[in-house]
Structure 1
Amino acid sequence: MLAKPKWAATLMLAVAGIASSTAADATAAPVAGQAVVGRPFGIASVSVPLSGVTPIDPELFSLSEANGRALYPVFQAGGAARRVLGQLLGAGIENLPPREVTVSFLFVGDEPLNLTVHTPAPVAFTLRPPLPNRRADDRLLGQWWRQYHAASQQRASEGDYPPLVETYLSSMLAGRLGLETPLLQRRGGNDTQHEALKTLELLAGAESLHMQVIRETMLGQSDLGQLADQPVPDDVLWQQPAIEVNEQVAIEPIAALVPPECFYIRFGKFSNYLWMNRLTRDYGGDLANMIAGRGLDRQMTAGIERQLAVKYNELSELVGDQVVNDLALIGRDTFFNSGAAFGLLFEAKNAFLFQTSVQQERAAVLAREKENGATEQSIEIAGRKVSLLSTPDNRIRSFFAAHENYRLITSSRAIVERFYAVIDGEQSLAQTPEYVYTRAYMPLEREDTIFIYLPSAFFRGLVSPQYQIELTRRMKAEADIELLRLARLTARNEGSPAQSIDELVAGGFLPREFGRRPDGSGPIEAGDTILDSRRGARGSFLPIPDVELTAVTRDEAFNYAQRAQFYRENWQQMDPLVVGIRRYSLEQDGADKGLERLVIDANVAPFAEQKYGWIMSLLGPPTNERITTAPGDIISLQASVRGGLLSPNVPPHHLFLGIQDSVPATDLKPGGLLKTLRMLQTTPGYLGAWPKPGFLDWLPLGLAGEPDIYGFSQLPLGLWRRQFEGFSVL
């Protein structure tokens, strides 16, 4: 809590000095300042006049104090009315030159503050504490907190990185100073959120959910201090679809060794796997960032190779198909950014040569990682000898198992156990009716470059108590590691010597009970690295099937019961997903060298119409017509649609979308109504329907008024619409 202020004053100060490079041109200007001394922080606000007519970029503002005593500054350029209009209208008024900049900040101590405000020209002055025995209310603190919280939210929404720092600082300061989230910036909770959406967010590791865990941990609203004294909940009782299969369907031999609960990505040839590797390395991170709106280097391919201790080079490309007959990526999940349960299953043409190559690579990794604690040991699983190459932090965790001409390299002991269970007679993926049914309509003769099969048992596993509860615990463990790092950096920035968990808790940088999770785990130090005591290093946590779940907390039991009830009542069965990808060279059609076309077939089968009927009702009848795309389109989507259950009055028609390969007319950051509308206006693309009336006519586009003689009309949003020859195009 912030102590009652000891002194307060409103001061009119003069500029005491500026940087020597500009001293000759400087003229004294009044600086309005106000300060309140308190514990653990004082609060101050100063306003510095600005000169000149050019727009000011607030990103260039900074504040420094000679002894590092000024902390957590927030800048406001212009008056309150200007800020309100700027937030409403966006870029226009923000680009007008403000008359002053106000900076509010916290400070430590009660000595004079030797401050320099950079706008970016430096303005230096001294803010002196007033005489004692004068009182002031918390107006300054409330003003600073509203501005600081708003600035944090703006940086979080506009930044090219997850708002981890902003979330930590806002939560830490709120708990430390006894402050609440400003009323206008509070958001409703997730209590009414669809359970299926909650599951998807958890499985996808949604950024918003991760930030929520950070906030709850810092504010003491998580399960810190709870006991795991409840039994593990029962799994959902799923219905099994009745499937008639043709036993004469041809199935690839490698599928007979895959556990039925694993996802299955078959490449057929080693060269196809290398092609996918290159594609993922070159474009996978870009696509993920485009979806997430962030600029991160996830290095998924490198992470897979590092953890499994496999490395492919130019020689692999030359001789891979001569050594490997078939290859599949299998696994229980795809959490490659945090620690996945996955493996590579090989069918070798020359088992001796393949085994020798793998062992040589593992020996090289062992020698290279010896100083990091790497070991290789022979362990027994299901009565077979299995090689385990690993490091204490699980950055390397590679089981190497063999059976006849097949070799499995996996991060998960549980997958090895199930691999041998299938070999010993338990049902394999190839024996499940779902997979036989799938191979009947997507036969081997298609020769897919990549064949992806996600069985219903795979999806059921993701919704099991093991996965749902451990995923939540894993997210909290990851948050603990991040919070400990941030707390140490923050303490150092404040000049505090606190570094241990107990010291950081005592200083308010971490919450009480921090690091004491219900499962007995917590952050520990291993040299310069912070690990979770049970799961290892962030980014390579112990695979979820390898984490033993023996008991849960009351909150965990309640939350899973809610989720299980939803699935029992609304989603009684999971449906397998199958995707076939084929690649074709376009060089023979005169295209540039190396240019390829990918044909992707995706199916949900068997299909539960009661769950997806409303989606199917939107699909129009099959058609042999298509809309010719515009020159320069880099993305083109077309669909035959109709109103269906959503809007029965909309007849069948074509809906088409195109995105152009061109630079938008303006480079705008999101923020403000005007900026949002301009962003829509300047997107280089189009959305259309044919023939009329279509979905576009279902929208309230009549606001544009009557079209001109060429069919053009302008919408209030700044968008244009054209209607001609049965087309309606935005």
Structure 2
Amino acid sequence: MVIRHMLVLAGILAFWSAAPAAAWEAAFHKEGANGWFRLTVPPSELADCSAVEVNPEPSDGMLFQVTTGSSRQDLRSSRAQIIACRQNMRVLQGASEMYGMDHEKPFTGSDQEYIDTLYKNKYLYSRISGPSGRCRYRFVTDSHGSKTVRCDAHGTIEPEADEREQIRKADEESLLETPSLLVFGRCRGAGPARLRLHDRRDGRLLREITLEIPANTVTDDPRVRDDWFDTWKRRMIVLERQTPADSLFSYLARQVPLRLGLIRDEPEQDRVPIFRRRDTPDADLYSLTTGALAIQEALQLDRMSRPPASATVADQADPITVLSGPEIKSHPYETMLSGREPRGVQLDRLVPAEFYACHFSNINSQIAFGDLLDQWGTSLLHTLQAAAHDARVKEKLLDQLCLETSELTRLFGDRVIADLTICGADPFLHEGTDLSVLFTVKNRALFDMMAQKRFAAAHERFPQAREERLDFDGIQVFALTTPDRHLHSFSCMLDGVSVYSNSNAAIGRIIAVWRGRHPSLAQAADYRYMRTVFPHDPATEDVFLYLSDAHIRQLVGPVWKIARRRQLHCIGSLRLLQNAITLYADEHPGKTPALADLVADNCMKASYLFCPEGGTFTLASDTLEPACSFHGRLRYLQPIIERPPSRVTKEEISEYKTFVDSYKQYWRRFFDPVGIRGRLATDGISLETCILPLVENSLYDGFKTMCGGTPASLDLPIHPKTIGLLAGKLNGDGVNTLTSGWDETIRQLIAGSTLTKDEFLRAIGPGFVLGLVDGDLRFEFMQDTSGLLMIDMARDPARAALAGVFLYSLNLPVFSVVQVRDETLAARFLREFLDQLVRHSMGSESRFSDGLRLRTYETSLGTGKPSYHTLELGLFVVRFRFFFAIHDGALLISTQRGVLERMLNGPVERLQTTANLEFRLRYKAFDRISEATRLGWQEQVREACLNNLGSLYALSRLRGIPLESWSDESLRINGYVPFCPEGGVYRDEPGHGGIICSIHGTPEKSRQPESADTAQPLNRFVDSLEELIASLEFTPEGIFTRTTIRRKQ
């Protein structure tokens, strides 16, 4: 089989090279309603375009799922498949031999049953999947009577000598001729079908080919089908990697071959995800930071591989009260409040104690913060993530609540509304949750007039909206809702406070608080204590966000965690349904499926769908939007507060107890009550955060031990071109507590000097600065791997810090400043320490005497000027230099001489601050590094933009959605609107291979502007930055952090 396949490909090359007037050649294979074709086009038919630059475009609906390759590429792919297949055969051979040693009687079943037996009895660690659709493994008896493995497509384990020679010749011949174009695809029906071949580079039409699809139902060339599957599978893998935010292509890679019978559908209890990538994470349904997009692929692959064990409500046999949340001590707030007078806000008297609360001192502050987020706050997140998606969360919630920030609100807002509070039970805003807004109303008549206009506008947008007046504990609540929750507004007045909520349960709880039947946030001891730390003062506080003790306990408690777990399972089903609809649309253009059609057509299995609450799934008749009868629709899920679980399954009990055990062991990862106060200014924004002291073992204890105590008043020199720095104080006793051998380190430092330990500690102060200086970047850290350093930081902070300094010193000038209290003692120590290093490297006791060379010398900057020391370190064939000086009350260390000389000669800047720890990013000093950072930023933006093209391709080509509807339909189907951060426009260009960005092109032919468009919001945001300062202090109240983002005036 292998030789024949190679000879066929080689013969194609020979034929086209010999024929004076070559023409294309087509081959077909049909199995019932399914058909496949292979088109071979010689290079003479492609003008000046190479085979890899050709883009095929079907002109009608008879051809679809079209991919391309070349004769040379196909030959090399076949070689790779042979290697992979023979490795599989070796594994099967070894498993079979072990089975034979353990069993006296040989296995008598079929070959596939034998492979299943080897897997089930642990002779195979995983199921064997052939690299090609043609791979079928069989066990045959060789001439010696032994059982050996053979593949229908690739022959025996070891190739015969003539086969190896034929492969070698085929390889050589493929390099002598220009490769031919191979086009693979599927076909429908019978008769003429047109295919256009375009030059991918400029979109020009090379030629149009008409294929005659045969009418017969069966043909005898299954290689056509198998070749299509091999190239199509590779295409799906590429699209999956190019579209990381969409699980569609991993779904298609699994379901399409199952649908066509090209891979074996394993029994559900034994299935494994064949197409699962190694970097696909497991679904952590109990993580606090888990989002639906982050886990949907993992859930989908698990669902397609193994149906969920708990599929019915009947399995929820135990009351949820058998579970209790993590037992964490609360602070003695009442004792801590002794002698303190809290100063809060009146609206917090209506906020339930277990809700988070975000208070704005006036409506103008809320509008200003909203504008800031729209203008550059969201850009900050996009800067960190290089995102090109907009989930439209703000717009969704405003529409639900029937609120808006209109020009009228901006004009009369502070005359109508005094202050406001936003609150809710959980933070799952993207998927759907409760949100309530409380307004202190100044002008009731004007407020009601504006509300009536909004309600009337909502009625026009949603004619099907239902208007009701409900009674909640004697309070009249106006409700305006639609069944899909796109509009879900409940409003009432409580003593001059207007309450709007998107949840009847949430507004009912607020009314219960007002009635005194439910505890309020204002009554909570932790909140009252926090309001002594951050007393309310409109002059210094524009916004205050509080995450209460009760709120955090609720989030990690059994009710919310298990409800969230069930919610995520249902989200996985809803996303999987969307993928099945897309597959159906591709297979049956123009047809509208019902849910039963998706199962009947094998676009999905009924077992894929699972709602732990027993919800049933349906498709909206007009939009095909999937919905669960219990949880609702994507982006508009029913809030947990409305239907919290009351019973649990055995599996959930076990999983939650495992979570609690992990929480008890590593609960430092979670936060205690947090208060954040924000203030807007003309030059930026400042945020102050107080995290109450974490109880028992926590990361807080480690930081406090190492850097705690009274904050240091630092006044140390820094280089004027410092772009980033970390400054603070080190508590020597604390470092010794955390890092074993600190005293031993000091002893070794001074062992070769004449200083005593007391003299050393008296000479060196606790303050330090570690800084990076502007320069030319030699390399950059990859965003997806830089987190490894943070993992190492958690394991061994000292080692990770040294590793980070070393890596950055290879890239940019690094300097360090250590506070000196006695310059005479410090200078003596420095000289003697460097001499000791040199002597030690030359001694026989040195382990690196053969490869290590240390030398030191002193350089004077002139009469009356300071001098500095150079440590020359030769390590085998590499030489490093470090420069040291004692000057101006500091020990200066640098990796570049020019940096140190500038700090000695001046002028220098001085870092004057008071903190335990402080980080600064000084954009104003960016100069030489700017080109590299901007280039890196543009590259991230380009990649983020191009990552959208796969999803848009699915909308346009698979679902047939017109361009003008892409944004709305993507929001409904994918949960976000794709956009180009540089302002590019997406369009479908058939000649260029599909979706193209007007600025960045396509993944195959990507472009990048020479410079960023300064008019775009993201780039305006970056250009506006001057400095970011984040400081940390340890106070009796807890951890105090201050973050200031300064913008250019």
Q: Name the TM-score, length of structure 1 as normaliser.
A: 0.74
Structure 1, 323-332 or 552-561: larger mean CA deviation: 552-561
Larger Rg: 2
Give the letter for the 2:396 counterpart.
Answer: G
Change over 3 Å in CA distance of 1:232–1:721 after alignment to 2: farther
Determine helix, strand or coil for the equivalent of 1:199. coil
Indicate the residue corresponding to 2:658 in structure 1.
562
Please report how far the alpha carbon of residue 274 of structure 1 lies from its aligned counterpart in structure 2 after TM superposition: 0.8
Supply the distance in 2 between the matched residues of 1:515 and 1:360 (Cα, whole angstroms).
Answer: 42
Instruction: Determine whether 1:578 maps to 2:675.
Output: yes
Letter in 2 for 1:582: R
Instruction: Give the equivalent residue in structure 1 for 2:504.
Output: 413
Q: Is the 8 A contact 1:374 1:389 kept in 2?
A: yes
Shift in Å, 1:562: 2.2
1:152 to 239, 244, 256: 239
Alignment of 1:544 onto 2:630: no
Counterpart code for 1:422: V
Out of 562, 565, 580, the position equivalent to 1:472 is 565
Asked if 1:500 corresponds to 2:673, the answer is: no
Alignment of 1:168-179 (within 5 A): 168-173=251-256, 175-176=258-259, 177-178=262-263
Larger mean Cα displacement after TM superposition, 111-120 or 335-344: 111-120
The equivalent position to 2:622 in structure 1, one of 527, 532, 539, is: 527
Q: Which has the higher helix share?
A: 2
Pair 1:182–1:525, CA change in 2 (3 A) = closer
SS in 2 for 1:438: helix
The alpha-carbon deviation at position 370 of structure 1 amounts to 4.7
AA matched with 1:333: D
For 1:599, which of 682, 686, 694 is the aligned residue? 686
* Cα distance in 1 for residues equivalent to 2:34 and 2:557: 48
The correspondence for 2:879, drawn from 670, 684, 706, is: 706
Change (3 A) 1:81 1:438: farther
Whether contact under 8 Å (1:348, 1:406) holds in the other structure is yes
Partner of 1:364: helix, strand, or coil? helix
> Residue deviations 1:164-198, cap 9 Å, x none?
3323322322543436766894457638x7x9xx5
1:689-704 mapped onto 2 (5 Å cutoff): 689-691=815-817
Q: For the residues of structure 2 that align with 1:629 and 1:669, how far apart are their CA atoms?
A: 27
Cα distance in 1 for residues equivalent to 2:438 and 2:56: 55
Q: How far 1:308 moved relative to its partner?
A: 0.6
- 1:697 maps to none
1:251 paired residue among 344, 348, 361: 344
Q: In the alignment, which residue of structure 2 is the partner of 1:675?
A: none
Q: Which residue of 1 aligns with 2:769?
A: 654
C-alpha distance in 2 between matches for 1:33 and 1:555? 55
1:76-105 CA-to-partner distances (Å, cap 9, x unmatched) read 797489999xxxxxxxxxxxxx96476574
- Checking the alignment, whether the CA contact within 8 Å between 1:225 and 1:516 is kept in structure 2 is yes
The answer as to whether partners of 1:389 and 1:397 remain within 8 angstroms in 2 is yes
- Report what 1:725 is aligned to: 900
Q: Distance in 2 between matches of 1:73 and 1:201?
A: 39
Corresponding residue for 2:488? 397
Pair 1:341-2:516 in alignment: no
Deviations 1:531-588 (A, max 9, x none): 3333434222222211242444444443333223322444298511111111222xxx
- How many residue pairs get matched? 654
Structure 1 264/480 Cα, relative in aligned 2: closer, same or farther at 3 Å?
Answer: same
State whether residues 598 and 604 of structure 2, in contact with CA within 8 Å, keep that contact through their aligned partners in structure 1: yes
Q: Distance in 1 between matches of 2:446 and 2:606?
A: 54
Does the 8 Å contact 1:331/1:341 carry over to 2?
yes
* Residues 1:71 and 2:65 aligned together: yes
CA distance in 2 between partners of 1:657 and 1:600 (Å):
25
Root-mean-square deviation (Å): 5.1
User: Of the candidates 604, 622, 637, which is equivalent to residue 510 of structure 1?
Assistant: 604
- 1: CA distance between counterparts of 2:470 and 2:901? 71
Cα distance, 1:615–1:667 mapped onto 2, change above 3 Å = closer
Paired AA for residue 277 in structure 1: G
- Residues 1:706 and 1:366: Cα distance change in structure 2 (over 3 Å): same
Aligned residue for 2:370?
277
Q: Which runs of 5+ in 1 are unaligned?
A: 1-6, 18-25, 85-97, 586-595, 673-680, 694-699, 712-719
| Structure 2 Cα separation of the partners of residues 264 and 671 of structure 1 | 34
2:55 paired residue number: 61
The one-letter amino acid paired with 2:685 is L
CA contact (8 A) 1:379 1:388 kept: yes
The corresponding residue for 2:525 is: 433
The answer as to whether partners of 1:692 and 1:727 remain within 8 angstroms in 2 is no
Q: Determine whether 1:384 maps to 2:475.
A: yes
Cα distance, 1:201 vs. partner? 3.5
Q: Any stretches of 5+ residues in structure 2 without a counterpart?
A: 79-176, 265-271, 747-765, 786-806, 820-872, 885-893, 904-927, 930-1049
| Mapped partners of 1:111, 1:535: distance in 2 | 45
- Checking the alignment, whether the CA contact within 8 Å between 2:558 and 2:656 is kept in structure 1 is yes
- 1:166 corresponds to: 249
Secondary structure of the structure 2 residue equivalent to 1:328: strand
Match of 2:712 among 609, 618, 622: 622
- Alpha-carbon offset, residue 270 of structure 1: 0.9
**Partners in 1 of 2:247 and 2:902 — Cα distance?**
47
Question: 414, 422, 431: which is aligned to 1:329?
Answer: 422
Aligned-pair CA distance for 1:429: 1.3
Question: Is the 2:402–2:455 contact (alpha carbons within 8 Å) kept by the matching residues of 1?
Answer: no
Amino acid at match of 1:238: E
Q: What does residue 90 of structure 1 align with? A: none
Q: Which moved more, 1:134-143 or 1:228-237?
A: 134-143
* C-alpha contact 2:13 2:180 (8 A) present in aligned 1: no
Structure-2 residue corresponding to 1:453: 546
The answer (yes or no) to whether the contact 1:115–1:127 under 8 Å persists in 2 is no
TM-score, normalised relative to structure 2? 0.53
Distance in 2, Cα, partners of 1:8 & 1:67 = 33
Describe the shift of the 1:658–1:708 C-alpha distance in structure 2 as closer, same or farther (beyond 3 A). Answer: closer
Following superposition, the deviation at residue 523 of structure 1 comes to: 2.9
* Residue 241, structure 1, aligned to residue 331, structure 2: yes
Q: Is the 8 A contact 2:719 2:902 kept in 1?
A: no
Deviation at 1:440, TM superposition (A): 1.7
The answer on whether the counterparts of 1:346 and 1:407 sit within 8 Å (CA) in structure 2 is yes
